[in-house]
A = this chain, B = another copy of it.
Amino acid sequence: MRTAFTELTGVRHPIVGFNRSPAVVAAVTNAGGFGVLAASAYAPDELDAQLTWIEEQVRGRPYGVDLLVPERFAAGDPDDLIASLRAQIPAAHFAFVDDLLDRYGIPPTTTRDVAAEFAAGVSPAGVTALLDVAFQHRISLIANALGTPPPDLVARGKAAGVIVAALVGAPKHAARQLAAGVDLLIAQGTEAGGHTGTIATMVLTPEIVDRAGDTPVLAAGGIADGRQMAAALALGAAGVWCGSVWLSSHEDVANAAIKAKFVDVTSADTVRSPTRTGKPARQLRSAWHDEWERPGSPAPLPLPLQPLLTGEAWQRIDDAAAAGHEGALRLESFFVGQVVGSFTGLRPAAEITRTMAEECAARIAELGRAL
């Protein structure tokens, strides 16, 4: 298939596989798509190791990274950033989370220093270190999932011949992204997993396409099979940016407990909630959301306070759920879009990529015969 995205990148299928698992990224690229690693999940040395491993697998084929690069960084002395942020969280919020974990009997088995990782992710030094690692590798694309990319990121991308991409959830944001000089827009509809706006892919995609001029647009949100890919192309997209579907791949690193939950649920079982990151993000609905929505529960705090408040709790819930803990399984959740309702089991990521491309081509051919 030939689209503006396949011409820009040289890939065979205009399918981006966005995931935090290096094995998914490599499998999608090697199947003829374009793998993109969620790099914010890693410390700089981890990211370096993961990108090195990916490059050994893809042997020159293109792949990219996705980072959460704020247009402006949090104010304050970076040395005590965590302390200053922690001081802004009301005691009642800490008590609510502690009590919630107690009532579900979640054991205190934190295996990682979540607060330090969090600080790295929001401090200028932390994000710059990840960017440095990314640009030391043979990436073909760098995407920013957190608004308009800052000017130095765009400049670095242009200098290195790396495609700079940015997600957009509303038409009014497209103009700023284009003015910032991005090479690729990703129109992400409300049905997507993770941080989303309120406008559906069906409406948002043509709106962004009409504003983008010659800049290619990928559609994101609600795309997990070949029919949905064909629909995205019909809307004017040059390809699809898929995140959730890879959570149904063997290669995805999510624990078996949450992957099993995903296979069981329907498209009506997600919720767009600010209770995890402080910004509305679509995720699997669980007892966690029931607890936060109960009368008398505190209101979620804004980003970056809410993830600082809840980060360790989620580490404990994930650990306990992975070990089969009953209370943790009730709370367990992860970011996923409405396409989760179509998961019927786990498949290899390469098979997902190829099947999507084949079904898309077949659907387009079938539509042509209906004319």
Q: A234-B363, A367-B364 are in contact. Are A206 and B221 (CB under 8 A)?
A: no
A233 interfacial contact with B, CB 8 Å: yes
B171 close to A266 (CB less than 8 A):
yes
- Do B203 and A339 touch (CB < 8 A)? yes
A84 to chain B, nearest CB (A): 30
Collect the chain B residues with CB atoms within 8 Å of residue A200's CB: 189-191, 200-202, 221-222, 338
CB distance from A241 to the nearest CB of B (A): 13
A364 CB contacts on chain B under 8 angstroms: 234, 364, 367-368, 370-371
Q: Could you mark each residue 218-250 of chain A with 1 if its beta carbon is under 8 Å from any beta carbon of chain B, else 0? A: 000111010110111111100000000000000
CB distance from A364 to the nearest CB of B (A): 5
Report chain B residues within 8 Å CB of A234: 227-228, 230-231, 233-234, 363-364, 367
Are B202's CB and A191's CB within 8 A? yes
B202 touches A201 (CB 8 A): yes
Chain A, interface residues (CB within 8 Å), range: 35 or more
Q: B204 and A202: CB pair below 8 A?
A: no
Kindly supply a per-residue 1/0 record for chain A positions 99-139, scoring 1 wherever the CB is within 8 Å of any chain B CB and 0 otherwise: 00000000000000000000000000000000000000000
Beta-carbon contacts of A141-183 to B below 8 Å, as 1s and 0s?
Answer: 0000000000000000000000000000011100000000000
Residues of A40-75 at the interface with B, using a CB-CB cut-off of 8 Å, are none
CB atoms of B203 and A338 under 8 A apart: yes
**A143 to B: closest C-beta gap in Å:** 21
Contact B232 A172 (CB under 8 A): no
Shortest Cβ distance from A261 into chain B, in angstroms?
Answer: 18
In the docked arrangement, what's the CA distance between A348 and B176, Å? 35
Q: Which of A355-371 contact B (CB under 8 A)?
A: 361, 363-365, 367-368, 370-371
- Name which of A1, A234, A236, A371 has the most chain B CB atoms within 10 A of its CB: A234
- The reply to whether A204 and B267 contact each other, CB–CB distance below 8 Å, is yes
Known: A227-B234, A231-B235, A235-B231. A203 touches B365 (CB 8 A): no
| In contact, A267 and B230 (Cβ under 8 angstroms) | no
Known contacts A267-B171, A370-B3; is-contact A203 B235 (Cβ 8 Å): no
Q: Which of B222, B233, B266 contacts A202 (CB 8 A)?
A: B222
Bound together, the chains give a CA A368 to CA B365 distance in angstroms of 6
Chain B min CB distance to A88 (Å): 23
Taking a contact as CB atoms under 8 Å apart, the answer to whether A203 and B267 are in contact is: yes
Chain B nearest Cβ from A123, distance in angstroms: 32
A169: nearest chain-B partner, CB-CB = B268
The reply to whether B266 and A172 form a contact with Cβ atoms under 8 Å apart is yes
Would you call A342 an interface residue if the criterion is a C-beta within 8 Å of the partner chain's C-beta atoms?
yes
Cβ–Cβ contact A198 & B236, under 8 A = no
Docked Cα-Cα span, A199 to B191, in Å, equals 7
What are some 16 contacts across the A-B interface (CB < 8 A)? A171-B267, A172-B268, A200-B202, A202-B222, A202-B228, A203-B228, A203-B338, A203-B339, A203-B342, A207-B341, A227-B236, A231-B234, A233-B234, A234-B234, A364-B364, A364-B371
**A residues in contact (CB < 8 Å) with B:** 1-3, 170-172, 189-191, 197-204, 206-207, 221-223, 225, 227-228, 230-236, 266-268, 337-339, 341-342, 361, 363-365, 367-368, 370-371
Q: Which 7 A-B pairs have the closest CB atoms?
A: A202-B222, A231-B231, A230-B234, A191-B200, A231-B234, A203-B338, A368-B368
